[in-house]
Amino acid sequence: MDYEITMPRLTDTMESGVIVRWLKSEGDYVKKNEPVVEIETEKAIQEVPAFKDGILKKILAEEGQEVDVGKPIAILEITKEVPITSPPKTQEEEISVKVEEKITPEIVEEASKIGEQIQQQTQAVKEALASPYAKKLSADFGFPLKELQEKGEIPSPAHEKDIREYLYSQYIDKDTLKDLKQYSINIDKLIKDLQGNLSKDNIYRYIKENNIYKLSDIPIFQKRLIEHLSKSATVPTFHIYEAINLKNILDKKEFTITTYILKIFADVMQNHYRTRIYYGNGKYRIYPSSNISVAIAVDEELFSPVIKNIEDKSLKNIQEQLQILREKAQDRKFDPEDFEGGTFSISNLGMFGIDMFDAIIPYNYSGIAAIGIEKNGYVNIVFSFDHRIINGKDAALFVKELKEKFDDVEYIESLK
């Protein structure tokens, strides 16, 4: 029969312990009450005995490992017979989970039940009630609270919030009031300052004159972006500018310019491994294939999904991939893999008529190419490189080869 040795609770408050040393090895015979392991708790190191005679069949927690109280640390095969040789190893056992405190959900439920009861009781009361502060406030403003409550214009019990809402609604129309809530504005003061003349125009003039700002929450995606960009800004970066010849591509109607650009970049990246590096956790991750992320903007959001293994893909395939990613962006329905594996990025503002710009490298990427508008068969590209990954010479060679490839008619014609 197998018996689990679990992490013992050695003090009143102990939650977990660290295995300091096993005093027995697998296969050893252990007598009841004989120490088998040393455990470190917040207070001290203690020896823990076996509770049964048997053979230490398997040690589940290594020395130095921290284990929660109640979790198994070894398996003992209960036997009174001292073995002569070490026993044959049997298969690992299914390990049952520790005895947990199954309390909280029940108690929380109970507590909220009690809460509900109280709520029901108080809801039954429908007299004209008001908090001391609500009363004080309505007295200050000089309106008949009780009467208004009986008419149903102010709820009961009334709180500060109800009084203010009522008061404001007397002066300011509903929509304006709703909009005002977004401003960092003291409405009490507004009413006082504008005495009587609380027309919409007047209110917004007041807001402008006093430089009152609107407070806007930052959407989660934006917060994430801010975080990311702030990190990118700490990276040592250098730039290379180059005008690239698109004449050989412009007359191709079947595939878009972006598709060609991706393909050509991918091919060239194959000859420059440093552009295929992602800098992660103090190590270089060198990817064998060319994986490029493309910036896609939808409304106010910006996504940079990655197309992978581009060098092996046909132009048609690349174009389809781009389309799929754009659709995913519209629905905001990406898979996590869509953002993994990239090492280089491309951003294009040409469609907005921008001549030349400078883009920020996605954090830990080797670089990014910022592409402007096509003019007379040329585009301006500003390359930014992460100096931690690639140095000036390697970057220059990369850009040089790119340039040559765009000029190379034979090569471009061979692309499929």
Partner 1 sequence: MLYRDALKKAIDELMEIDDTIVILGEDVGFYGGNYRVTDGLFSKYGEKRVIDTPIAENSIVGNAIGMAFGGLRPVVEIMTVNFSLLAYDQIVNQLAKIRYMSGGDICIPLTIRMPQGVAKQLAAQHSQSFERIFASIPGLKVFTASDSITAYYGLKQAILSDDPVIFLEHLLLYSQDFLFYEINDFDITKQRIVKSGENITLVSCLKILHDSLEAVKEVEKKLGITVEVIELTSLSPLNLDLVYESVKKTKRLVVVSEEPKTGSFTSEIITKVMENCFYYLDAPPLRITAEDTPTPYNRKLELFSIPTPDKIATKIINWGREHGL
Partner 2 sequence: MNKSLAEKFYYYMKLGREFELRAKEEYMKGNIGGFLHLAIGEEGTHVGAILGFGNGEFFVHYRDHVYAIARGISPKLLMAELFGKITGVSKGKGGSMHFYSSKFNFYGGNAIVGAHIPHAVGLAYAKKYLGKSDGVMVAFGDGSTNSGNFYESLNLAAVYQVPLLFFCENNYYAIGTRIDRVSAFKDLYKKAKDYMIAIQIDGMDVFEVYRAVSLAKEYIQEEGKPYFIEALTYRYESHSMSDSGDYRSPRELKIAKEKDPIDNLLKKAFKESLLTKEFVEEIDRKVEIEIEEAVEFALNSKEPDLEELYKDIFCED
Binding site for partner 2 (CB under 8 A): 6, 8-12, 33, 41, 43-44, 46, 48, 51, 69-70, 98-99, 106-107, 110
Q: Which is nearer to partner 2, 9 or 164 (CB)?
A: 9
Q: Which is nearer to partner 1, 89 or 136 (CB)?
A: 136
CB of 60 to partner 2, least distance (A): 15
Instruction: Give the DSSP per-residue string, 75-112.
Output: EEEE-SSPPSSPPPPPPPPP-PPP-----HHHHHHHHH
CB of 100 to partner 2, least distance (A): 9
| CA atoms of 404 and 245, how far apart (whole Å) | 9
CB of 170 to partner 1, least distance (A): 19
Here the contacts of 206-215 (C-beta below 8 Å, separation 24 or greater) are 207/183, 212/183, 212/184, 212/185, 213/183, 213/184, 214/182, 214/183, 214/184, 215/182, 215/183, 215/184
| CA atoms of 255 and 253, how far apart (whole Å) | 6
Q: Which does 46 bind (CB under 5 to 8 A by kind): partner 2, partner 1, none?
A: partner 2
Residue 129, judged by CB atoms within 10 A of its CB (0-12, 13-18, 19+), counts as middle
Q: Which does 25 bind (CB under 5 to 8 A by kind): partner 2, partner 1, none?
A: none
CB of 46 to partner 2, least distance (A): 7
Q: Which does 111 bind (CB under 5 to 8 A by kind): partner 1, partner 2, none?
A: partner 1
- The crossing angle, in degrees rounded to 10, of helices 315-331 and 257-269 is 110
Give every CB contact of residue 319 below 8 A, 6+ residues apart in sequence. 255, 256, 259
Give φ, ψ of 403 to 5 degrees: -60, -45
The closest alpha carbon to 380, from 349, 404, 343, 407, belongs to 349
CB of 35 to partner 1, least distance (A): 24
Q: Which is nearer to partner 1, 31 or 136 (CB)?
A: 136
Q: Which does 95 bind (CB under 5 to 8 A by kind): partner 2, partner 1, none?
A: none
Q: Which is nearer to partner 1, 110 or 147 (CB)?
A: 110
For residues 260 and 248, the answer to whether their CB atoms sit within 8 Å is no
Token duo for residue 344: 């280089």
Q: Which does 125 bind (CB under 5 to 8 A by kind): partner 2, partner 1, none?
A: none
Q: Which does 119 bind (CB under 5 to 8 A by kind): partner 2, partner 1, none?
A: partner 1
Token duo for residue 400: 């040089």
Q: Which is nearer to partner 2, 41 or 259 (CB)?
A: 41
For residues 39 and 8, the answer to whether their CB atoms sit within 8 Å is yes
Q: Which does 115 bind (CB under 5 to 8 A by kind): partner 2, partner 1, none?
A: partner 1
Q: Which is nearer to partner 1, 71 or 135 (CB)?
A: 135
CB of 233 to partner 2, least distance (A): 50
Q: Which does 44 bind (CB under 5 to 8 A by kind): partner 2, partner 1, none?
A: partner 2
For residues 240 and 385, the answer to whether their CB atoms sit within 8 Å is yes
Q: Which is nearer to partner 1, 108 or 297 (CB)?
A: 108
Q: Which residues bind partner 1 (CB under 8 A)?
A: 12-13, 42-43, 101, 103-104, 106-108, 110-112, 115-116, 118-119, 122, 131-136, 157, 159-162
CB of 130 to partner 1, least distance (A): 9
Token duo for residue 264: 């050509």
CB of 162 to partner 1, least distance (A): 7
For residues 333 and 309, the answer to whether their CB atoms sit within 8 Å is no
Q: Which is nearer to partner 1, 42 or 63 (CB)?
A: 42
CA distances from 410 to 262, 397, 405, 407 (A): 18, 21, 9, 9
